[in-house]
Each structure stands twice: as structure tokens, then as C-alpha cells.
Amino acid sequence: MSKLTGLRPSRGARKKPKRLGCGDGSGHGGTSTKGHKGLKARSGGKVPAWFEGGQMPLQRRIPKRGFVGKWHVEYQVVNLEQLAKLDPSAEVTPETLYEKRLVRNRTKPVKLLGTGEVAVPLKVKVHAVSKAAKQKLEKAGGAVELVS
């Protein structure tokens, strides 16, 4: 039985590191395994991950589409036909619409659109309203107030 002090890795299992720039006797002298000239032979010479050898890069070849302006507001849309299900005596606000699951986000502004009809007079507080929706609500005896 051998002792722990006698344990050694097998012959050839451990390689010595490359001794770059240590002369011809090291086997890696001259150009230090970097070939001749070129970017990768120089100090700090790394090719960026996005570089495509000088051909037009992918992010410039693909067409650009669309534009979102600096002041663009993304509204949550509610139609008049959805309001017909609500209690006519209660005031309709973004919070009540969130509780009734007619809008998904509590923080985004709400816009009322005029699809559908409303028969009961509703008092509505929203961030924006279309002309058609406002006319239909006022025709039914309701009122619209804009919340800032």
C-alpha cells in the first residue's frame, strides 16, 4: 500500500504553461504564437464581438421602423359598452374601473372611447375621452370630467 506523500499525477497529465516571449529555446519565441502582424498580434488587440470583418453590420443592414415620441402617452382603452355593466348611481373613476377589472394597470391613464351605447346617466372621471363618447354620455344625461 502506498502512502499519501507518494501520490503523483500520471506522466503527461499535467502540462507546463506556454512560456511566451522567452526566446527560441522555449518553443514560443519570435512572435510568441501570435503569427505575423495584424490586429491580434498587437498589444490590446481584441476584435469586438459585434465586428463582422468590415462588412456592413447587422444593426445597420436591418431597416428601422416606427417612432415613439418623447411625449407619447399610452392609454388604457375603455369603451362605452363596457360601462353599461356598471352601477349607474356610482361614480366611474380609474380606481373603480381597476376594481371591476376593466383596466389592468392602476397607474396608466384611461381613455374612454365611443364604441357601443349607454342608456343610463353615468358620471365618469377619466384622463381622456373621445368626442363620440362624450356626446353619447351627455345625450344619455351623464357627465364627463377629465382627471389630470
Please give the share of the chain, as a percent, with pLDDT higher than 70. 99
| DSSP-derived 3-state class of residue 19 | coil
Q: Go through the domains of the chain in sequence order and give each one's CATH number.
A: 76-146 (3.100.10.10)
Q: Are 115 and 78 in contact (CB under 8 A)?
A: no
Check residue 21 and give its pLDDT.
Answer: 87
Average pLDDT for 29-33: 90
d(CA 78, CA 129) in angstroms, rounded, equals 10
Given the C-alpha cell 380606481, which residue does it identify? 95
Alpha helix (H) residue ranges in 46-126: 58-61, 80-83, 94-99
| DSSP-derived 3-state class of residue 11 | coil
Check residue 85 and give its pLDDT.
Answer: 82
Residue 1 has pLDDT above 80, yes or no: no
Considering only residues 66 and 148, tell me which one the structure prediction assigns the higher pLDDT. 66
Identity of the amino acid at 138: E
Given the C-alpha cell 363620440, which residue does it identify? 132
d(CA 87, CA 72) in angstroms, rounded, equals 33
Residue 148 has pLDDT above 90, yes or no: no
